[in-house]
């Protein structure tokens, strides 16, 4: 986008609490003003934005909610690139939630910003498949690769007055919302079926916090598990380590069992232990 002579990036406003050092370096290299502000809706900052007089604001992975006086400043409004297939998957940590929910695809949507949370009219969106080999890292790579061209195309469409405006209520009257994941949400519930635990572990894989479980007070971080398609359905103690299989362990779930492939802890696991 910075190489397109018809467009000019007038400033970058990064997260106030954790400015991205890579973004700062890129801004410095391109001689683009790099801004941060504790409250981007404050009169002082909106006055600065008004003086810059942009045609359009572009938001992506920003952690402050823009108020009407802010997102309405540019003549073409403000748009956002969201890694979710709106009107579904509004909110936070969408890629993690998509995996947890065993989705077979995820979407990227460019939409106008309005007073709601990811509720503005859709400009463009694209869907991408999810297979069992995918995890949080692989979905992030797709999102990083595919967001820029989708966003760039939407900006060109807006500037040339050919952008679609699809009200989200024409797709579904309510859509779905997802909350931000916080510390403590990474704990595995072994009373879930094998498929659900498999999805949970891959959803929190690196660069996520990794799924966690305990033996007593000792924490184990689990990075990867494997489904065993031929595992029988039967009742036993969920979370019990049933057996050691070469360099892996077999762990009971609510319905069957799965194979523990990658984990990190400060002690040796053994058959007979119980995860809690």
Quick one: three-class SS letters along 83-118? Answer: CCCCCCCEECCHHHHHHHCCCCEEEEEEEECCCCCC
Cis-peptide, bond into residue 250, ω within 30° of zero: no
> How far apart, in whole angstroms, are the C-alpha atoms of residue 124 and residue 22?
27
Domain with CATH 3.10.25.10 in the chain: 194-264
pLDDT band of residue 254 (cuts 50, 70, 90) is very high
Interval 81-90: pLDDT, tens: 999 999 999 9
Within 13 Å, how many C-alpha atoms sit on residue 200's CB side?
21
- Please determine, looking at this structure, whether the domain spanning 12-178 carries the CATH number 3.40.50.170: yes
pLDDT band of residue 210 (cuts 50, 70, 90) is very high
- Among candidate residues 252, 60, 275, the one with its CA nearest the CA of residue 155: 60
According to CATH, the superfamily of the domain at 194-264 is Formyl transferase, C-terminal domain (3.10.25.10)
Tell me what pLDDT residue 3 has: 84
> How far apart, in whole angstroms, are the C-alpha atoms of residue 196 and residue 190?
9
Residues 143 and 61 sit within 8 Å (Cβ to Cβ): no
pTM over 0.85: yes
- Compute φ and ψ for 116, nearest 5 degrees: -95, -175
Instruction: Quote the percentage of the chain above a pLDDT of 70.
Output: 100
pLDDT band of residue 2 (cuts 50, 70, 90) is confident
Within the chain, residue ranges assigned H as helices are 21-29, 43-52, 68-71, 94-100, 136-159, 194-203
Tell me what pLDDT residue 172 has: 97
> How far apart, in whole angstroms, are the C-alpha atoms of residue 178 and residue 97?
8
Cis-peptide, bond into residue 87, ω within 30° of zero: yes
Domain with CATH 3.40.50.170 in the chain: 12-178
Residues in the chain: 276
Residue 1 reports pLDDT greater than 80: no
> How far apart, in whole angstroms, are the C-alpha atoms of residue 90 and residue 7?
29
Q: Is 142 exposed, middle or buried (0-12, 13-18, 19+ CB in 10 A)?
A: middle
Per the model's pLDDT, the better-predicted residue between 2 and 115 turns out to be: 115
Residues 57 and 71 sit within 8 Å (Cβ to Cβ): yes
């Amino acid at each position: 986008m910075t190489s397109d002579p018809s467009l000019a990036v007038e400033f970058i406003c990064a997260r106030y609490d954790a400015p991205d050092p890579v973004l700062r370096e890129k801004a410095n290299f391109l001689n683009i003003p790099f801004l941060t502000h504790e409250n981007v809706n404050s009169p002082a900052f909106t006055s600065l934005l008004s003086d810059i007089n942009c045609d359009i604001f572009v938001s992506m992975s920003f952690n402050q909610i823009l108020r009407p006086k802010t997102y309405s400043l540019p003549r073409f409004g403000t748009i956002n690139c969201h890694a979710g297939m709106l009107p579904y998957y509004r909110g936070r940590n969408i890629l993690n939630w998509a995996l947890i929910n065993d989705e077979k695809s995820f979407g990227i949507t460019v939409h106008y910003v309005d007073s709601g949370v990811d509720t503005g009219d859709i400009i463009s969106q694209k869907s991408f498949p999810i297979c069992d080999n995918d995890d949080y890292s692989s979905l992030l790579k797709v999102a990083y690769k595919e967001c820029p061209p989708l966003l760039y195309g939407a900006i060109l469409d807006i500037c040339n007055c050919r952008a679609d405006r699809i009200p989200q209520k024409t797709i579904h009257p309510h859509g779905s919302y997802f909350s931000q994941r916080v510390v403590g949400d990474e704990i595995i519930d072994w009373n879930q079926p094998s498929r659900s635990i498999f999805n949970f572990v891959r959803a929190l894989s690196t660069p996520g916090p990794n799924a966690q479980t305990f033996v007593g007070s000792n924490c184990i971080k689990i990075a990867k598990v494997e489904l065993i398609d031929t595992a029988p359905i039967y009742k036993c103690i969920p979370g019990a380590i049933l057996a050691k299989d070469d360099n892996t362990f077999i762990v009971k779930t609510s319905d069957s069992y799965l194979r523990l492939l990658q984990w990190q802890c400060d002690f040796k696991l053994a058959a007979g232990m119980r995860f809690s």
